[in-house]
Structure formats: structure tokens, C-alpha cells
Amino acid sequence: MNKGVILIISQVYPPDPASVGQHLHDVSKELVQRGYRVRVYAADRGYDDPSKRYERRELRDGVEIQRIRWSSFGKDSIAKRLLGQGLFVAQAFVKSLLVGGVKGLLVSTSPPFCGAVGAWVSRLKGVPVKYWLMDLNPDQMVAMGKAKPDSLSVRVFDALNRMILRRASDIVMLDRFMLERVERKGVAVRDKTTIAPPWPHEDELLRIEHEDNPFRAKQGMGVGEGAKFVLMYSGNHSPANPLRTLLDAAERMRNEPRFVLYCIGGGGGKKEVDERIAAGATNIVSLPYQPFSEIKYSLSSADAHVVSIGNDVVGIVHPCKIYGAMAVSRPILALGPKPSHVSDLIEQHGVGWHIEHGDVDGCERALRQMLAMPREQLRAMGERGARAVSQSLSKRTLCAQFVDVVERGIRAEQPAHATGSKA
């Protein structure tokens, strides 16, 4: 049965490795299984690496994907990012208006202006729009010192945000801190907001023992006696996720032969990691993003994982890498303020350590404690995280709940007809 078309607009989508796209594909697949025809508009080039090109049209797990040209030029400058985002949302807006039989829209904050496009399409086509608020801008730009709070661009951006927040029939936010920030803007959204964290892909994140891990073998990390103790930061490196305290502590550990810090991923903040290595840090390793199919090996190769959130961005960004670390049964070193959603999870489940930014001494103590801790204790700590994922934070549970929100109110809309498309 075809219940009609659900439109999804997102600059990133698989095979791009960005987390937002991976989660949207999970939602898209679930909607297809529930009888909807799902059309996705995405960029035809990689978000982090624009040299990667993807098929313009693709059917992936029943999801119709149309990728738009001239919509991603990389992240090495704000100008390039804004140009790509602007061209993407303009083209996606026009294409969305030409699709027939639409029952609803789903937009996220990738790119940030996507919400405004969703609001306009929703109004013109008379269908509900669901808004997945995965980070909060322009708040992030202000917090990072890249924009002034009273600047014209920030005021315009806030006005566009208020448009989608008021227009959306349902909003999904990632944590309670995000809801508090939005409410401080004077927009009453609590009654239509669902708090739901992003889910780990635990079906792709099986715990792989060190002895059976090809990634660990390839990197020469070793097993058994004499093996390296691998602390890992995996994901986007940005000013919102500062690593300076960790990097300073790692340099103090340079005479500890077992300890090594792996920084995997990309983003503007990766420059600081590479500079440390260029300056002679021998116990820090920098690698690019790993293919999604290989994530279970790279994440499982670590003995513990790092999750960082900046002091000024609690409620603005939500580092979902913590769920992947928990899913592969690894303890967590959390860097950032308290309280935050990360510190909440650390305390609630007893899965690691919490260190404030700037506390290099405390970070070094935590690293040495990890090294001295028996493997059985580390395993027990990691397994508590895996149990939390399986019991309340699993992909099956959270994705199904999210799609319930997407469906809410859509069934009562106009009947599906003329499901063809001119776009």
C-alpha cells in the first residue's frame, strides 16, 4: 500500500559518512517499510570531502534519492559552506514544489537553512513538516565567536528559526538542554517537542575482540602483553568539541610506551591534532574518516573513547559519538562542563570519567588510571554502557519512536494521489 510521499531534505546522505545522513537513512527505511514512498534531496558531493561524487539518482533500500549539483564545496571556509548551503536549499525548494502526492516533510539542521525551506514548502503545499533539531544555529556561531549576537545575520537567522519552530507540527530535540535554550528564545514549543537522542548503529557496531580485529592488526596496536592502550576520538573535529586539554595530557604521557591517542575523522579542529604531530608528538595518530562498513572495527580497536563538548555549547550541539562508544562496550573519557547530556550519561550508567576543560592534571590522572586498571574492570565499565544501549537507547527503539512522530498527524491529511514527480 502506498500511503503517499514523504519528502526529506538533507545536504548529507549515505554513502556520505556524516552521522546526520546515516540517521536520516534509518528513518527513511522505516518509513518505506510502513508503506510510504520516500524522496530524499541531498548534495551530490561529500560534505567533508567535496572531491567525492555520488550518483545523481539512486534507489537505496527502497528510498528514492536525488542528489543536487553545486551544493557542497567543502568545509575549509565559511564562504564555501554558505555558498554550497544556499545553492542546495534553493534547488531543493524548487524541486520539492514539483513533487505530487506529498503527505509530509522532514527536515533537519543540515544545512541550517533547511528549516526555513521546510516551512515554506509546508505552507505552499499544505502538508505538515517535522523538524529534527540536531544542532542549534546561529547559537553555535555566536558561542564560537564567529558572529556577534546582535548582528544582522544572527537576527535574520533567528527569525528564520522561529518560522520553522512555529510552523512545524512536531519537533524532535536531542536533549533537555536544547529545549531549555530554545524556550529562552521566547518560542513556546514544549507541547509539540519530543526529546529523543540519536541512536547508535549497534547492528553495525558489534564489539570486536582485539585478537580478532583487523583494524587493530593493521595499525600495529598489538594484543596481549605489550599491546598498546588505545584512547580514541572518532568523529567530527570542531571548535565545539575541543581537545586541547586531552592533547596536553597526551603529551605528558609521551614516555609511557603503552599509551597512544588516535584521532579519527575530519573537520576544522583536526588542524590542531595534525600540528601536534608535526611538532613531534609520537603518541598521537591522525586518520581520516573510516568507511561506515568499517566503523565497528575502528571503534572496537580502542580501549576507551573520548567525547568532548565545549563549555559554551551545551544544548547547542549533541555529540552522539558517545552512543557508538557505549554500543561497542568501551569506557568513556568525557571532556566538558557539568551538567550536560554527556555528564548525565556518565553518572547515570557509570561508564567512565568526567574531566573539565583546562584540567590537564586531572586528565593525566584519568589516563594513568585507565592504564593501571585491570582489563576486567574496563570491560565491566564498557558492558554497562552496552546494556544501557540495548535496554533504552537502541536503534530499534529510538528509530521506531522517531518515525511514530513523523507519522503523527500525517495519516489524517489529504489522501495520496498522483504520486508522479516532475522534479
- Residue 268 counted as domain residue: yes
Phi-psi region of 326 (alpha: psi -120 to 50; beta: other; left: phi over 0): alpha
Mean pLDDT of 140-169: 93
What band does 40 get if pLDDT is binned at 50, 70 and 90? very high
Range with the lowest mean pLDDT among 179-183, 332-336, 339-343, 407-411? 407-411
Can you give the pTM of this predicted structure?
Answer: 0.85
Distance, CA of 110 to CA of 2 (rounded, Å): 28
Mean pLDDT of 87-100: 95
| Same domain assignment for residues 117 and 47 | yes
Q: Which distant-in-sequence residues (6+ apart) come within 8 Å of 234 by Cβ?
A: 262, 264, 265, 290, 298, 299, 302, 305, 321, 324
| Same domain assignment for residues 259 and 288 | yes
Question: What pLDDT is stored for residue 221 in this prediction?
Answer: 97
Mean pLDDT of 160-189: 94
Examine residue 138 and say whether the peptide bond preceding it is cis (omega within 30 degrees of 0): yes
| Same domain assignment for residues 176 and 252 | no
In this predicted structure, the answer to whether residue 418 has a pLDDT above a threshold of 50 is no
Question: What pLDDT is stored for residue 420 in this prediction?
Answer: 38
Question: What pLDDT is stored for residue 422 in this prediction?
Answer: 38
Range with the lowest mean pLDDT among 74-83, 160-169, 360-369? 74-83
Q: What is the mean pLDDT of the chain?
A: 92
Mean pLDDT of 248-272: 95
| Same domain assignment for residues 235 and 166 | no
Distance, CA of 189 to CA of 194 (rounded, Å): 10
What's at 155, amino acid-wise?
Answer: R
Higher pLDDT, 379 or 73: 379
What's the domain count of the chain? 2
Distance, CA of 58 to CA of 66 (rounded, Å): 7
- Residue 383 counted as domain residue: yes
| Same domain assignment for residues 370 and 403 | no
Mean pLDDT of 203-226: 90
pLDDT tens digits for 300-354? Answer: 999 999 999 999 999 999 988 999 999 999 999 999 999 999 999 999 999 999 9
- Backbone CA torsion sign across 32, 36, 37, 43: negative
Mean pLDDT of 284-297: 91
In this predicted structure, the answer to whether residue 413 has a pLDDT above a threshold of 60 is no
3-class DSSP assignment, residue 380: helix
Mean pLDDT of 1-14: 93
Check if the beta carbon of residue 294 is closer than 8 Å to that of residue 213.
no
- Residue 376 counted as domain residue: yes
Q: What are phi and psi of 65, to 5 degrees?
A: -115, 125
Residue 43 sits in a domain whose CATH number is: 3.40.50.2000
- From residue 416, give the alpha-carbon distance in Å to each of 6, 103, 413: 11, 7, 9
- Residue 416 counted as domain residue: no
Q: 54 is in which domain, residue-wise?
A: 5-199+395-407
Distance, CA of 71 to CA of 74 (rounded, Å): 9
| Same domain assignment for residues 234 and 191 | no
- Residue 418 counted as domain residue: no
- Residue 81 counted as domain residue: yes
- Residue 41 counted as domain residue: yes
Phi-psi region of 62 (alpha: psi -120 to 50; beta: other; left: phi over 0): left
| Same domain assignment for residues 119 and 33 | yes
- Residue 412 counted as domain residue: no
